[in-house]
Amino acid sequence: MGCWAVALAMAAAVAGCGGDGGTLSGPGEGAAGESDAAFPVTVADCAGTETVIESAPERIVTSNASSLELLLRLGAGERVIGTGFPPGPGTLPAELDEQAQAVPVLGEGVIDKETLLGSGADLYIDTFGSMDGMGGMTGFPTEEEFAAVGISHVYLLSTACASTTDEPREDLSAVLEDIRRMGAVTGTSDRAEELVADMTGRLDQVAGVVDDVPADERPSYWIFDFDAGTEQPMAVCNRQVANAVLTLAGVRNVFADCDTDFQPTSWEDVVAADPDWIQLAVRNRGGAEATEAAFDEAEAFLRDHPATRDLAAVREGRFLRIGLEVTTIAGVRDAETVETIAHTVYPDRFSDGER
């Protein structure tokens, strides 16, 4: 299993994350029309432990490309001094790509402890939480160590705490709250509300088209996490952000019966599920050509594997090529993924092919 897939599969290993949601309080909580200079802002982690952000951070480190993209969209990109899991050239939307490529790379995967603590950051945005001992990491900073060097540690709760939620995720409210939270802690609440409004508009348009499809008539859908390894497939379960993406797109997650975020499964279970549609969910390879080659490889694997080659979806080529990150990690493009899936599965329900 590659380190990125392990990172996703083990996102439950978040130090101190014992429940869903988390809270945001103070004058900077992100309501439309508030001053973006409203501080202090108090945020809470999954377990309710609070962090007070006294003023707008000036030196931000992001844990991966998704959190970096969110900061760029919020207009805080000039304050990002480093990232882990960097986006490859051309992998972010064109209007963000040049700025993203200028951000120093502190780790091709998870940023190691010494680099993170010595980065000079005053804010670390953490998509996954504690990844101790994984991806070559030499440990993860404790909250005391973060505090000692003046780094505020803030989570994207919808991803970091996915496995500990009480109910299946069937909407993107937790992702929208993450965007508001990041807007508050970076002093960009007005922009955060604009992003939330855009996502909500996109989701409402899709809902208006697919919501009347009865649950038992919705096509079944399997996310093939190719980078999690092919010896034993990984199920994307109902506590994961992706389960909400699929639900909103009008399809049925074939592994919606497992009450966690990710869980190893078997090829026998995949065959028994007999999905109507298969998403070839590969992680970004650092460039469009390399990523497309990975999609090719994932499709070829399913066409050749004795357990999957006779599935109707494989024989008939009912594949969607959608990256893992924009499906399983909190971000603005989750709404775009909902659109892509819905338009692919229900082409006759959308007029003029518009998205």
Output the pTM of the full model.
0.85
- pLDDT tens track for 135-185: 334 478 999 999 999 999 999 999 888 878 889 999 999 999 999 999 999
- pLDDT tens track for 186-234: 999 999 999 999 999 999 999 999 999 999 999 999 999 999 989 999 9
- pLDDT tens track for 69-99: 999 999 999 999 999 999 988 888 889 999 9
Calpha distance 241→244 (Å, rounded): 5
Calpha distance 37→22 (Å, rounded): 22
Q: DSSP strand E in 123-254: where?
A: 123-126, 152-155, 220-225, 234-236, 252-253
What are 272's two structure tokens? 């028994």
What are 33's two structure tokens? 């029309």
Q: Write down all domains in the chain, each with its CATH number in brackets.
A: 3-197 (3.40.50.1980), 212-353 (3.40.50.1980)
8 Å CB contact between 171 and 199: no
Checking phi first, is residue 328 left (phi over 0); if not, alpha (psi -120 to 50) or beta? alpha
* CA distances, 34 to each of 27, 40, 92, 185, 190 (Å): 8, 13, 29, 13, 7
pLDDT band at 352 (very low <50, low <70, confident <90, very high): low
Pairing label, strands 123-126, 60-62? parallel
Q: What are the residues whose beta carbons fall under 8 Å from the beta carbon of 298, sequence distance 6 or more?
A: 224, 226, 280, 282
Calpha distance 9→193 (Å, rounded): 30
